[in-house]
Structure 1
């Protein structure tokens, strides 16, 4: 058996949860069968050699990348990459795609080579209307690529029960029997508490003070602007560490910079790590934070919460999507098992954004403050989070059991 994994992200070019997922999936599959990974980027000079694992990198067509600055360029680049990824797939028995960036690679492989096509959806374009800010009119193309592929896939993997429900809502023509829920997982040999603090000091984090941590891309989806807006409602001087880079657009980069500078002018203690950090850096940041905050407005699974929990961090996260199946809420009936707090908010049906953003920021601040004011509670939740992650990474309990 030889499977082809199609992905935009693969080490060293990982910036989100889908890349983390494919990294681990390819490694574990290669213990059992032959695996080809087809990824986006320049081939690294020092790509490690792993038995049964062949990694191929492709660049989008230069005529597109250097031929226009229009926002739709990203969607055209993705389509060109999908075509390139289909040149030599005759040895594959199954093709498996991850995210819309490569969904058409699977669709075309099925048509050209007659091989079964599996699609894992890490997010859904119809539920990410803000992508039009990044892709412009290319959002119509990314949506078409995803829809065409998901309707033709032989099997669809949803990363949570919430995502399965979203697929059925966004694409009612999909045969429900084709949808299988398989939760994301992480390597618990890597993600665990690290007592060292040298990397924190290099980043300018004051290790003598508790800090609230955010790790993620600068994108509407991850809700980092709502956390920055929440800073003014936190206890004075609270140290907030934003490990936030890879902005979707220059506009959102400028927006978050303006918000951070305005908050600092009002006395906020914000440490902003703008570059994408290494896995080792992230583990150390998770290990020593007083609270990890995930204010996402849309999150099919939220692997970032699993990473933080495995390192012993209590979590304050938005009550949406797959997060409901990962974080055990301290305000619910199972407070004795709680790994953090979930913060509900009313979502706009089109954008998923909070209809009352200031209230959402206030509510985030309230839950964060509750843990900052009660270190014993925070530590207990952190211990439970580390324990729960060992179960969660094998498959969370359904939210109805929480």
Structure 2
């Protein structure tokens, strides 16, 4: 089975959950299919072909640059039996490949443009183009993969013209060999984190979606003896970057033990940070699933997360963590939930152990890949 996997992110350029998903899915698919990966960048090696936007569009709106990459990807997938695209950055390439070569297009929806109106702040008029690209591709795709049951509901709500039978749920996964407890302390010591004091950890991009400003306001009110570590970078816009910096500076004036790590850390460093955190926090206001919660659970750490999207399908409230409603008093709810976990280290340890067990039992990438290949076989041999 000759498959073309289409994505913006691919190692070493992975900055979000969709990139993590593609990285590990591709690793497993290589043992099950004849796989070519098409991603952003330059060069080709080892079944990975990288495409860059047209130089004539340097400085143009990101959506236009994306479309030029999509055209290059579509041209390059000739000879594939099936294309599988991830995120709006590659969906149009999959759609073009379907039309041009008469092959099936499967797309995985990691998020939905209609549910991310703040993207207009980032893309300007390009948000209308990204929304058009997603709608065009999703409504014509042979199969749409939702990464959670909640995501499936969102897809059918946003795109009512879509046949519900075409929307299938395949959860994200986690490599529990890479993400497992690391009880060393060298990374913490190098970063200057006090190993004798508990800390709350956030790992994610500085975006409206990830809810970082909510977190910065919430941690004002948690136990002042607790440290707060923010692995937060890649701001979507100058505006959200300034807001984050202002809130961080303000928070620095009222509490000690506040750490901001703006650079992307190597995975082993993140694993050690996750392992030693007293609690991991995910304050997202929109999250189809949230791989980072699985990463924390696999490292044996209790999670406090917002009750949105697919997060409740990962974090079991009261068992592997605490879920916080976002509808009202979200920031106060985050603070209360964090304090409740921090005040009960034994309970937090039990949550962490339960989270590790759940991650191993239910979210292995080998199972995700086998389910994905089953979908490939279904669209290649309908009926």
Aligned residue among 192, 205, 223 for 1:235: 223
Structure 1 distance, partners of 2:250, 2:257, is: 11
Give unmatched runs, 5+ long, in structure 2.
369-383
1:342 and 2:335 are equivalent in the alignment: no
SS at structure 2 position matched to 1:186: coil
Structure 1 distance, partners of 2:78, 2:342, is: 56
1:111 and 2:135 are equivalent in the alignment: no
Map of 1:101 onto structure 2: 89
Q: Is the CA contact (8 Å cut-off) linking 2:230 and 2:261 kept in structure 1? A: yes
Structure 1 distance, partners of 2:129, 2:338, is: 40
Map of 1:211 onto structure 2: 199
Map of 1:5 onto structure 2: 5
Deviations 1:246-297 (A, max 9, x none): 0001111111010000011122431000011121111111110000000000
Aligned residue among 49, 52, 56 for 2:49: 56
Structure 2 distance, partners of 1:319, 1:88, is: 41
Q: Which moved more, 1:318-327 or 1:269-278?
A: 269-278
Q: Which moved more, 1:300-309 or 1:261-270?
A: 261-270
Give runs of aligned pairs for residues 35-184 of structure 1, distance below 5 A. Answer: 35-43=35-43, 49=46, 54-66=47-59, 68=60, 73-184=61-172
Deviations 1:309-360 (A, max 9, x none): 0000100000010001010111xxxxxxx001000121xxxxxxxxx4xx21
SS at structure 2 position matched to 1:222: coil
Map of 1:384 onto structure 2: 354
1:322 and 2:310 are equivalent in the alignment: yes
Aligned residue among 291, 296, 302 for 1:308: 296
Q: Which moved more, 1:193-202 or 1:129-138?
A: 193-202
Q: CA deviation at 1:204?
A: 2.1
Map of 1:21 onto structure 2: 21
Provide runs of 4+ in structure 1 moved above 2 Å.
none
Q: Is the CA contact (8 Å cut-off) linking 1:301 and 1:321 kept in structure 2? A: yes
TM-score (norm 1): 0.89
SS at structure 2 position matched to 1:220: coil
Structure 2 distance, partners of 1:389, 1:43, is: 35
Map of 2:249 onto structure 1: 261
Structure 2 distance, partners of 1:173, 1:193, is: 45
Q: Is the CA contact (8 Å cut-off) linking 2:92 and 2:134 kept in structure 1? A: yes
Structure 1 distance, partners of 2:206, 2:38, is: 26
Deviations 1:31-85 (A, max 9, x none): 01110000012349xx6x4xxxx0011111111123x4xxxx1111111110011
SS at structure 1 position matched to 2:67: helix
Structure 2 distance, partners of 1:65, 1:38, is: 20
Aligned residue among 244, 249, 260 for 2:232: 244
Structure 2 distance, partners of 1:298, 1:212, is: 21
Aligned-CA RMSD value: 1.4
Q: Is the CA contact (8 Å cut-off) linking 1:326 and 1:392 kept in structure 2? A: no
Q: Is the CA contact (8 Å cut-off) linking 1:96 and 1:117 kept in structure 2? A: yes
1:363 and 2:333 are equivalent in the alignment: yes
Q: Is the CA contact (8 Å cut-off) linking 2:3 and 2:82 kept in structure 1? A: yes
Q: Is the CA contact (8 Å cut-off) linking 2:174 and 2:359 kept in structure 1? A: no
SS at structure 2 position matched to 1:321: coil
TM-score (norm 2): 0.93
Q: Residue 160 and residue 195 in structure 1: after superposition, are their counterparts in 2 closer, same or farther (change >3 A)?
A: same
Map of 2:283 onto structure 1: 295
How many residue pairs align between the two structures? 366
Q: Which moved more, 1:283-292 or 1:265-274?
A: 265-274
Q: Is the CA contact (8 Å cut-off) linking 1:3 and 1:92 kept in structure 2? A: yes
Deviations 1:378-400 (A, max 9, x none): 1111111111111231589xxxx
